[in-house]
Structure 1
Amino acid sequence: LLPLCFVLYVVWKSAVKRTLENGSPIAKVILWYPTFWLGISNNVTFDRLPVDRLTTTDLKEQAGALTAVGSIAATILTCAVIQAYSLWKSGRFKKYFKIYICFIGGLIALGSLPGLNLRIHHYILGSILVPGCATRGSSAYLFQGILVGLILSGVARWDFASIVETDTALLRGEAGASLKPPILDFNDDQNHSLSWHLNATDPVIDQIGNIDGFSLLLNDVEVYVGKNETVSIDVLRMENPALAQMMDDALDASNGTIDLYLRVARASVRSPTNRGDYTNAGVLQWPNGMWQKPEPGVS
């Protein structure tokens, strides 16, 4: 709370005070306060736009993301031009131009840090843009209200999130954030067995010694955890009667063959929760042993 109070104090001294102090009460009620609540209610207003992490992957995968980002950029640019004109009329354009050149230079420097991604969170966007609204007039009321609302909304929901984040942090626990899985192998001569091997650059044990084995999923049920790099489905059936019964029941209900969806990941043989990323599913047609290799990537 104290850091937020400090930020709001700086925002007040640098921009809001000039706009609201001795301003028209009617303008405040009609222009500033409604847009303030529009910004502070960001979770039900702007968050409905298909824009999340502003990563290349998200922009490609989310429908309408590019259009939304383009619209947001065009809106910000239009507002910036309007406020630049207001600052020019007040005789302070050169001062704020230098300030924003410093802001842009700082963002470029942060964005160029190796292994880190620049993240313009809501509170950062509001904090950067609100000084440019330190003017009087209807445009300042409108823009300033939204920006102050975004600062409060962003900090309230996500705290002071870092302006730079690693690739792993950016994934938020999604597939791709953990250790890469091994590569699945299949031998037609042993078509009831599944093998895998590590990439040549991957260590057998991770740096802190937690990941020292493998986990095998069969139809999204973990059926094996251990250090072997080859597993026989027949052996798993003998060791796990419940698995054998499940497969037999599925065979009885089908036309004599069933599809087994198999995924493998790096894992700890001691901890049931410590797992890396799983491969995409390879499909083994049981019991005739027809194999369909998995798609590249992780799941």
Structure 2
Amino acid sequence: MSAGRIGSYIRRIKNITNRILGPSQPIDDLDIPLPKSSIVLSTTIGEKSYTFEPDKFFNKISIPLGIYPFLCLWIGLFIILVRQQYYLPNSPQIISCTAAPWNDFPPDTCGLNGTNCLNDLTEINDKSFRCLGGCKNSKLGNSRYIGSEKINNVPLVIGGGDVDKTYRADSWVCSAALHSSIISSSLGGCINFHSLPHPEGYSNYLSSNSHSINSTAFEPHYPGAFRLSKYSSINGCLDLHYIVTGFNAFCLLLTTLLLKPRLSLSFIILLVLGYFHLILFANPPNAQSPNWETIFARLTPTLIAGYWMYKISFKRTLIGFRNLPFEIAIWQGAGFWIGIESSTIFNKLPITRLGYDSLDPAGIISLVIIIVIVVIIGCIQAWQMRKYGLLRYYLYRYIPLVPLLIILAVIPNYSFRPHHYLLALLGIPVVSLPNRISLFLQAFFLGLFLDGTGRWGWDGIIQLTGSLVGDANTGSFVPSFWSNLTTSTTLFWDPVDVVEKIHNVTSYSILIDDIQHFANYTNRSIDMTTLGLTAGIDHFVRLAFIANGTSLDITKPVTWHANSSWSQLWDVV
């Protein structure tokens, strides 16, 4: 191929690329056409025609001088609602949605027959607690074994199907209260806690379905159990999340339509309102009162990030809509509240475990729909950016991030974590046009950013893999059961000397029916008939090596059936 032909191909490719990317220089902001009102209502009565343009109407009746008195009133009422949520005298202590009398991880943390957790159960006997709303959406992030049943992505509720509604001591109290119909799913409520005597506990925890919570059954005896009863009053018990959301949304609507604040002030209202609404109501602290030190410590970086967002994106868009308050109220308001409440809203979609577990058919359909919507919106926005010479401008700035992100993703012992507040920051600059897509998306990204930093803080884009394990297995060495030696009553496994020199293993921790029966056990077998177990039902055995005084990962349960046969012994890792 001749050099001239190669040059011709290069020129063609260059011309095609230039056509796709559009102008090489962004046009001046003043030359970008401003949006016009798209909402006009008209009707004809008799021979007369009437036209109503909401934006013109609200511009005429706006009262800009009323903005500061109204903000003072709004803040005052918000403080009263905060007091009602946290500072009413004699209100029961707030507990988290995942609080349980007995910690369930590691599975042997409560020691022999649960004695290490005895005080945790007895100290709260006959005390009252307050559960906030939304506990139905709190679910296990990693799998658990209840007997031989593996559960995941559900509230941890064991039992409650009997007449007295008895729950195992490692059940989540608030989820159990919801399952017992004592509290409201959205408004929460207060409960009285009653522990059963230890170690008598309870046996035959029955499963039942209530308020979309399907509790797990467990037949063997368990030494810790509790029951719940209804609190005597609702005063100071109800979660004000949805009430305050409606109140703040109404006040924001009035501010936008009638008071017409300056552009910078309107953004500050969004930023500060969203931050405190998220911290205090959408994601309230699991404590009797908020930690104001932490709240104001996190406020400073939030304000700094907000200043950058305003300069890079919001200012240009809001200038274009400065005379269209009704459009701002609709598009910006909708995007903002969807973003702020994104964890509540999107938690109902079957894709919340994306990246952790495989999706079911409904999850796949939801994900495909979301991807299609994102692609369509992205193409529309890219076309608009091309018209104004911004597509090339942003590509030059975003493309260098790709190799940087790839490098971060392959650093050994670290996990790449593109938290959604980082995705929001990444998306903010490209939604800076004076169009309705930008108006909606930049408010949505602001809400998403606040939801991320408000709920989980400023976690880094890479994190140590070990710090993300949480209550999952760490991947350590586990014993193997020996089926060739195991009899109908005696279970055998790897002897300590097989691994002691490599992993500093000294003994075993043995769980029978989900509770530790032996610690620092050194034999390599156990006779089930010597344990005094209830006859005629299945029992469950789990095993872990103890190294340096700490239990390593625990095997999957092996079932000793009522007929003295064993489940598969080789699938326990």
TM-score between the two structures when normalised by the length of structure 2: 0.43
What is the match of residue 113 of structure 1? 411
What is the match of residue 330 of structure 2? 30
What is the match of residue 102 of structure 1? 400
Q: 1:74 to 1:108 in 2, by over 3 A?
A: farther
Supply the AA of the counterpart residue of 2:509: S
1:194 maps to which of 484, 491, 506:
491
Q: Compute the displacement of 1:46 (Å).
A: 1.9
Identity %: 24
2:515 maps to which of 215, 221, 231:
221
The alignment partner of 2:433 has SS state of: coil
Counterpart-to-counterpart distance in 2, 1:53 and 1:162: 20
1:265 maps to which of 544, 557, 563:
544
Q: 1:205 to 1:12 in 2, by over 3 A?
A: farther
Say yes or no: does 1:50 pair with 2:350. yes
- 1:184–1:197: 8 Å Cα contact kept in structure 2? yes
Counterpart-to-counterpart distance in 1, 2:431 and 2:342: 20
- 2:480–2:570: 8 Å Cα contact kept in structure 1? no
Counterpart-to-counterpart distance in 1, 2:361 and 2:467: 23
Q: Which deviates further from its counterpart, 211-220 or 190-199?
A: 190-199
What is the match of residue 476 of structure 2? 179
Structural mapping, 1:117-156, within 5 Å: 117-156=415-454
Counterpart-to-counterpart distance in 2, 1:22 and 1:79: 20
- 2:500–2:506: 8 Å Cα contact kept in structure 1? no
Q: Compute the displacement of 1:163 (Å).
A: 1.8
Counterpart-to-counterpart distance in 1, 2:446 and 2:343: 15
Q: Compute the displacement of 1:65 (Å).
A: 3.0
Q: 1:170 to 1:182 in 2, by over 3 A?
A: same
What is the match of residue 293 of structure 1? 568
Counterpart-to-counterpart distance in 1, 2:498 and 2:408: 30
Counterpart-to-counterpart distance in 2, 1:262 and 1:63: 35
- 1:213–1:269: 8 Å Cα contact kept in structure 2? no
Unaligned runs of 5+ in 1: 238-242
Counterpart-to-counterpart distance in 1, 2:302 and 2:495: 48
Counterpart-to-counterpart distance in 2, 1:149 and 1:104: 25
- 1:226–1:269: 8 Å Cα contact kept in structure 2? no
Deviations 1:234-259 (A, max 9, x none): 6x83xxxxx42xx2xx22xx3xxx43
Counterpart-to-counterpart distance in 2, 1:189 and 1:103: 58
Deviations 1:24-55 (A, max 9, x none): 32221121122111111112212322233532
Counterpart-to-counterpart distance in 2, 1:116 and 1:201: 31
Supply the AA of the counterpart residue of 1:291: W
The structure where helix makes up a greater share of residues is 1
Deviations 1:237-292 (A, max 9, x none): 3xxxxx42xx2xx22xx3xxx4332111123685xxx4332211222346x75332
The alignment partner of 1:108 has SS state of: helix
What's the C-alpha RMSD, in Å, of the aligned pairs? 3.0
Unaligned runs of 5+ in 2: 1-297
Counterpart-to-counterpart distance in 2, 1:139 and 1:198: 65
What is the match of residue 284 of structure 1? 560
- 2:482–2:569: 8 Å Cα contact kept in structure 1? no
Q: Compute the displacement of 1:202 (Å).
A: 6.0
User: Which one has the largest radius of gyration?
Assistant: 2
Counterpart-to-counterpart distance in 1, 2:395 and 2:438: 17
Counterpart-to-counterpart distance in 1, 2:500 and 2:423: 41
Supply the AA of the counterpart residue of 1:177: T
- 1:220–1:261: 8 Å Cα contact kept in structure 2? yes
Counterpart-to-counterpart distance in 1, 2:497 and 2:457: 41
The alignment partner of 2:481 has SS state of: strand
Paired residues, number: 273
Q: Compute the displacement of 1:14 (Å).
A: 1.2
Q: 1:31 to 1:172 in 2, by over 3 A?
A: same
What is the match of residue 304 of structure 2? 6
The alignment partner of 2:352 has SS state of: coil
Q: Compute the displacement of 1:15 (Å).
A: 1.0
What is the match of residue 240 of structure 1? none
Counterpart-to-counterpart distance in 2, 1:92 and 1:185: 67
Supply the AA of the counterpart residue of 1:143: L
Q: Compute the displacement of 1:145 (Å).
A: 1.3
Q: Compute the displacement of 1:200 (Å).
A: 11
Deviations 1:195-244 (A, max 9, x none): 322899966575xx7x643211112121111151513326x83xxxxx42
Counterpart-to-counterpart distance in 1, 2:380 and 2:497: 57
Counterpart-to-counterpart distance in 2, 1:293 and 1:98: 58
Q: Compute the displacement of 1:149 (Å).
A: 0.7
Q: Which deviates further from its counterpart, 221-230 or 196-205?
A: 196-205
Counterpart-to-counterpart distance in 1, 2:336 and 2:404: 28
- 1:215–1:225: 8 Å Cα contact kept in structure 2? yes
- 1:51–1:69: 8 Å Cα contact kept in structure 2? yes
- 2:415–2:463: 8 Å Cα contact kept in structure 1? yes
Q: Compute the displacement of 1:96 (Å).
A: 0.5
Counterpart-to-counterpart distance in 1, 2:465 and 2:499: 19
Q: 1:262 to 1:152 in 2, by over 3 A?
A: same
Counterpart-to-counterpart distance in 1, 2:317 and 2:569: 60
Supply the AA of the counterpart residue of 2:358: L
Supply the AA of the counterpart residue of 1:135: L
Deviations 1:44-97 (A, max 9, x none): 212322233532x5124x563333333332222222212111211222211111
Counterpart-to-counterpart distance in 2, 1:103 and 1:261: 51
The alignment partner of 2:382 has SS state of: helix
Structural mapping, 1:58-69, within 5 Å: 58-60=357-359, 64-69=362-367
Supply the AA of the counterpart residue of 1:265: A
Q: Compute the displacement of 1:146 (Å).
A: 0.9
